[in-house]
A and B are shown apart, each in its own frame.
Chain A
Amino acid sequence: MTTTVINEKIPAPVGESKPRLENRKKATGAAIYADDIQFGNGLLHARILHSPHPHALIKSIDVSKAAALPGVKAVVTGDDFPGFIGLYLQDRHIFCRDRARYVGDPIAGVAATSEEIAVNALELIDVEYEVLEPVVNPEYGASPEAPLLHPDLSEYEVASFILPQAGTNISNLFKVRKGDVESAWEKCSAIVEHKYRIPHIQHVPIEPHIAIAQVDETGEITLWGSSQSPFAQRNLIAQALGISQSDMRVIAPYVGGGFGSKAGVSMEALAVAIATKVRGRPVKLLLTREEEFYTAFVRQELISYFKMGCDENGNILAMENTFYWGGGAYTEYGVNVTRAAGYSSTGPYEVPNVKTDSLCVYTNHPVGGPMRGFGMPEMHTGLEQCIDDLAHKAGIDPVEIRRLNCVKDGSILVTGSKMHPTGLPQCIEETSKAIQWGQKAPASAPNKRRGKGTAIMWKAPAMPPNAGSSAWVELAEDGTVNVGLGGQDLGQGTFTVCAQMAAAALGVPYESVRVATPVDTRYSPYEWQTVASRLTWSMGNAVVNAAKDARRQVLELVSEAWDEEPENLDIRNGVVVSYKSEQEQPLKDIVIYGLPKPDDQGWMGGPIIGRGKFMPTYVTGLDPETGQGERAVVHYTTGAQSVELEVDLDTGQVEVLRGVSAFDVGRAINPALVEAQMEGGFVQGLSSALFEEMKMVDGFMQNPSFVDYRIATTTDAPSEMESIIVEVPQDDGPWGARGIGEHSMVATAAAIANAIYDAVGVRMDGPPFSAEKIYLAMLDAGIVE
């Protein structure tokens, strides 16, 4: 269902549900993914030796036997690559050097003429370890008793807005001190306090990580990979190897799912590092699913403490929140998750008195990194349950307390910034209406209990203040348009959306637009990363600016040729028209060869290439002690989700019957794709709520395969899903658009938890809300015998 605000000024095809450009290729198998690329007989296969210990000093590594194995072309270790790598905090080497910090940490790499030989070579590498005590709990890790995982933390290079605490395992501390929390509690008539624990989960893309790297005789590097971040990879790998960014080329073919796991740099640097030792030969590294679980990014775990209180009318007066993020062995990327959670730590509520400590803590677990939602699902899962409990304690309806306290246009936010116009109140109304809030339907069977739950959310793009986008738009002889961009399509449809925006901004039919892919850092324009749900907004702006630039060039040329004012000219449907003289000429006759001057006196114009960029310039720093500042983020996307479900009293199994989502996307450039994001996010949120957990025991994962790491299938998705688009335009978004990709799974787990509580009256300390956990909670509560 779509409730779109009709606005005559929105040019087609913006607002139309165009099918994704690559649908046919993907459906027929014609789409080329990294592993499909053929490299011929010269291809070498890489395998990695991983640390078997969660925490150990590396005393010695002997690779001589492996190197002597016939077919082995290179064996490398950390000794070969002294440089640091990392996005926000350079706390990682490509291979371990003196210390292994998680089970799976890369110790050595082999390139061989066959996968079999590479596997056999690994067994010939002798490593001597001194096993150390691991840190497997972030709350303990933050304490002075915990062994230090990164004794050199204070010497690492770090972004200005990340605050590592020297001599501790805390790699970032984000503090909010707003108002006066202590004196606020006595004004509260209801106060609740809760602790929640959110486990590590993983993105589990269908296509595992893959990288093929080749270094030519002059040292120029080419990397083909399944990547969300070709430009960030170019930059970070070049820095780590001490080479020029211009000597590092990244080519990014289709991606079989990312969800954040293919952002930044992870295993790609391993393939590149090995390839530097076998110049001329391509080296392929493809992760197994087990390696994917152990060695690719995981979502950070979180231990969260919430305390919140409201007055007798339900106005929330204070919040005191402490987050211990289990960042894993390296937090080069994850530190910013914890910062995002800090500056969003009240959830989408206006709260006058706030105290927050958000701590990023090293643990001997897999590397925490970006995942869909970037800290927001983890934080909201606890926070939004707490809001429900506060409502119940204060005797207020859970929807009403949200309606009352949610951020609105002009609200003073947790960081002191002012909220921009937002459709959050509408989202709450829409989901409540759709789920028939307040009406209790009977359960479908005597042994079942039915419940409804709701939760709301906000999320800002989490990125450096100056993350930039650029684009170009060129036209071909037949007037078709080629859009150059540097962001990646992960299935979210960004290429399609950018084609729609280019068509609308230039004035050509959608069918005339192509996107210049695959993204190749040698030819494609710069894009920071495909993360943060920022592409429709940021890259979209760059594409629109490039299209407008091309349009300006065309119209200036025609204005001169026709001797007319540019204001009277337009490009419509690929044809330049004059509203004054009623002359018209198709773009194809103009954009390559220019236009003839009168009387055969030469030519004017030439090939048209429009360029555009976008970079936010207004995000300010925040006070490190109070977290207060003028403008913490570019904007917030907000939304609400409601569910109806049943709990089986015999087994504890949950069946989600209905899911309703409403999000304020500013402007839906492609409503069908927006709805697809809402449905996909809901199901991923449901999966994290009911099934997903990396079961860690003493630093070892117990379920590193799909046999025992369960994810929701279509049979687990609700048969009824409703997605409602709310559009309150963003002032600097293309036609008002802002992102939706990640937001759709932020509130889901909390909404499900609240519905379980509504159904059977039990709360658990954290997801997954498995049948077993629910049943045993019901048993302990005396609800079943």
Chain B
Amino acid sequence: MQEAHPSLPEFDYIKPKTLAEASQFLADHAGKARPLLGGTDIFVRMRDGVWKDKYLVDVKGLNGTNEIAFDPTKGLTIGAAMTMNQVSAHPDVKEHYAVLADAVDKVASYQLRSRATTVGNICNASPAGDTIGACILLGGVLNVHGVDGVRQEPLSSFFKGPGSTALKPGDVVTSLELPLPPKGMLGKYLKLGRNKSSDLSIIGVTVVGFPDESAASGYRMKLVLASVAPVPLVVDKVEEILSTKPIAEESIAEAAQAAMDTCAPIDDVRASARYRKIMVRNLSQKALTEIWNELGR
């Protein structure tokens, strides 16, 4: 039986004063130290005995982690320490990045979102991460501070497997950058849970769409799936079908079928692979149809 720790195992809490100090400590204690943001995943896993880190390095409060900034010419920067509720309530997020606000609001519960961070959700790299699809489709790039200085990690190549990313020991993600979205972009996140609130996703479908003159259909539609692969699954086929063929009930159905055919989910305690696959089709169709209806207006 799963023998969870009755409370938390012992660990040292490290509060570095600078990013350099944080990166150095994390690099010096590789395998034993972990950057701490909201802690909503870390503490659960430590209690469950899955993670056995000796040090939690609190990177909240370091340079650049504590603000949300919108530049009308460049886009949005979300500091790593910003909580999900701060992100989804931000007026510029609501106005320009509504799909992210939609996804954030479907993570766990309101109470948890007062602690949890969007950057933490990304770095946790769960295949079920609700906000990851939106961040990928919005062209997200992470600003990373490592022992060798700062660099950028685009989300399109960031995820390597469940819980595994391009981050190395010593890396501290300071913020997430989202470029200005294409004009007229609409988006939606559909999450299927077992009950109405606070569940992990059985599957999740993130869709964005916007007018694009370079596409034969006049529109570009993109789709990412959660919980059906080891990493968030971008279904390129959807974009291909709906940019080359006139968008209509048939082409949307074909795109949804392509999404279903692309994914290879597993059976687990939350759902069977069979159900997941069909739900990918049904919810992809639903999300694409809803976005198309809104775009067409």
Contact = CB atoms under 8 A, between A and B. Distances in A.
Interface string A112-137: 00011001000000000000000000
A60 interface: no
Nearest to B198: A713
Contact of B196 (A47, A52, A116, A716): A716
Given A290-B3, A290-B4, A770 B194 contact: yes
A713 B196 contact: yes
Contacts of B202: 772
Contacts of B272: 772, 776
Contact of B195 (A702, A716, A776): A716
B9, B196, B200, most chain A CB atoms within 10 A? B196
Given A286-B6, A650-B282, A650-B283, A294 B1 contact: yes
Contacts, number: 72
A712 B195 contact: yes
A715 B1 contact: no
Contacts of A770: 194
Contacts of A421: none
B195 A779 contact: no
Interface string B255-292: 00000000000000111101100110011001000000
A705 B270 CA distance: 13
Given A103-B1, A116-B10, A119-B5, A651 B195 contact: no
A708 B269 contact: yes
Contacts of B271: 772
A451 to B, nearest CB: 19
Interface in A524-545: none
Contacts of B282: 650-651
Contacts of B3: 50, 290
A651 B1 contact: no
Nearest to A289: B4
B2 interface: yes
B194 A651 contact: no
Interface residues of A, number: 38
A52, A704, A770, A772, most chain B CB atoms within 10 A? A772
B53 to A, nearest CB: 16
A119, A650, A715, A776, most chain B CB atoms within 10 A? A650
A134 to B, nearest CB: 14
Interface string A276-288: 0000000000101
Contacts of B269: 695, 702-703, 708
A775 B286 contact: no
B236 interface: no
A707 interface: yes
B3, B7, B192, B282, most chain A CB atoms within 10 A? B3
B122 to A, nearest CB: 20
B199 A710 contact: yes
A263 B275 CA distance: 40
A700 interface: yes
B197 A651 contact: no
Given A651-B283, A772-B271, A701 B1 contact: yes
B197 A715 contact: yes
Nearest to A102: B1
B2 A710 contact: no
Given A704-B1, A708-B270, A779-B278, A691 B194 contact: yes
Contacts of A705: 2
Contacts of B7: 115
Contacts of B10: 116
Contacts of B283: 650-651
Contacts of A115: 6-7
Nearest to A708: B269
B63 to A, nearest CB: 35
Given A290-B1, A703-B269, A775 B195 contact: no
A180 B279 CA distance: 51
B147 to A, nearest CB: 33
Interface of A: 47, 50, 52, 103-104, 115-116, 119, 286, 288-290, 294, 650-651, 690-691, 695, 700-705, 707-708, 710-713, 715-716, 770-772, 775-776, 779
Q: Which 4 A-B pairs have the closest CB atoms?
A: A715-B196, A772-B275, A650-B282, A715-B197
Interface of B: 1-7, 9-10, 192, 194-200, 202, 269-272, 274-275, 278-279, 282-283, 286
Given A115-B6, A700-B1, A702-B269, 11 more contacts: A50-B1, A286-B6, A289-B4, A651-B283, A691-B195, A703-B269, A704-B2, A710-B195, A715-B197, A716-B195, A776-B272
16 contacts: A115-B6, A116-B9, A286-B6, A288-B5, A290-B3, A294-B1, A691-B194, A695-B269, A713-B195, A713-B196, A713-B197, A713-B198, A772-B202, A772-B272, A775-B278, A776-B275
